[in-house]
Amino acid sequence: MGGSAVTVAIYLGLDSSTQSVTATAIEVDDAGRRTIRFERSFRYDEALPEYGTRYGVLPASDPKIVHAPPLMWSHALDRMIDELVRDADVDWSALRAISGSAQQHGSVYVNALARGRLGSLEPNIPLVEQIGDLFSRRTSPIWMDSSTTADCAAIEAAIGGPRALATLTGSRAFERFTGPQIRKFAREDPDGYASTDRVHLVSSWLASLLSGHHAAIDPGDGSGMNLMDLASRRWSPEAVRATAAELDAKLPPVESSWSIIGSLSPYWTKRYGLPPAKVVAWSGDNPCSLVGTGLVSEGLVAVSLGTSDTIFGIMPSPRPSEDGTGHVFASPTGAYMGMTVFKNGSLARERIRDAYGMSWADFSAALARTQAGNSGRTLLPWFDPEITPLVLTPGVRRHGLDAADADGNVRAIIEAQMMALALHSKWMGVRIRKIYATGGAAANRDILQVMADVFDADVVQLETGNSAALGAALRAFHADRLAEGRPLPWEEIVAGFVTPKTDAKLRPQAAHVATYKKLMDTYAERERAALG
Query: How many residues does the structure list for the chain?
Result: 532
The site map against ligand XUL for 142-171 (x = CB under 6 A) is -x----------------------------
Phi then psi dihedrals of residue 206, to 5 deg: -70, -35
Out of 175, 229, 285, 446, name the contact with ligand XUL by CB under 6 A: 285
* Binding span for ligand XUL by CB under 6 A among 125-133, 281-289, 293-301, 371-379: 281-289
Least spacing, CB of residue 101 vs ligand XUL, in Å: 9
The site map against ligand XUL for 189-228 (x = CB under 6 A) is -----------------------------------x----
Is the four-CA dihedral 471, 420, 397, 403 of positive or negative sign? negative
Cα 114 to Cα 112: distance, rounded to the nearest angstrom: 5
261 contacts: CB under 8 Å, gap ≥ 6: 207, 211, 215, 216, 255, 279, 280, 281
Residue 424 binds ligand XUL (CB under 6 A): no
Out of 259, 308, 331, 344, name the contact with ligand XUL by CB under 6 A: 308
* Binding span for ligand XUL by CB under 6 A among 82-90, 125-133, 236-244, 283-291: 283-291
* Binding span for ligand XUL by CB under 6 A among 114-122, 226-234, 278-286, 318-326: 278-286
* Binding span for ligand XUL by CB under 6 A among 129-137, 305-313, 417-425, 453-461: 305-313
CA 515 to chain centre: 32
Is the Cβ of residue 471 or residue 508 nearer to ligand XUL in the bound state? 471
| H or E element in which residue 191 lies | helix 190-194
CA 443 to chain centre: 18
Count, residues near ligand XUL per rule CB under 6 A: 15
Residue 233 binds ligand XUL (CB under 6 A): no
Cα 301 to Cα 385: distance, rounded to the nearest angstrom: 26
* DSSP-assigned states of every residue in 422-490: HHTTGGG-----EEEEESGGGG-HHHHHHHHHHHTSEEEEES-S-HHHHHHHHHHHHHHHHHTT----H
β-sheet bridge partners, residue 29: 8
Pick out residues in 313-342 that bind ligand XUL (CB under 6 A).
341
Least spacing, CB of residue 22 vs ligand XUL, in Å: 12
Least spacing, CB of residue 286 vs ligand XUL, in Å: 5
Residue of 495, 255, 219, 233 whose CA lies nearest to 332? 219
Cα 148 to Cα 378: distance, rounded to the nearest angstrom: 30
* Binding span for ligand XUL by CB under 6 A among 80-88, 147-155, 303-311, 455-463: 303-311
Is the Cβ of residue 106 or residue 212 nearer to ligand XUL in the bound state? 106
Burial of 109 (0-12, 13-18, 19+ CB in 10 A): buried
Is the Cβ of residue 221 or residue 407 nearer to ligand XUL in the bound state? 221
Is the Cβ of residue 169 or residue 307 nearer to ligand XUL in the bound state? 307
Least spacing, CB of residue 181 vs ligand XUL, in Å: 12
Residue 293 binds ligand XUL (CB under 6 A): no
Is the Cβ of residue 53 or residue 103 nearer to ligand XUL in the bound state? 103
Least spacing, CB of residue 25 vs ligand XUL, in Å: 22
For residues 113 and 50, is the Cβ–Cβ distance under 8 A?
Answer: no
Pick out residues in 91-130 that bind ligand XUL (CB under 6 A).
103-105
Burial of 528 (0-12, 13-18, 19+ CB in 10 A): exposed
Is the Cβ of residue 114 or residue 301 nearer to ligand XUL in the bound state? 301
Cα 217 to Cα 204: distance, rounded to the nearest angstrom: 5
**Contact positions vs ligand XUL (CB under 6 A):** 17-18, 103-105, 143, 176, 224, 284-286, 307-308, 310, 341
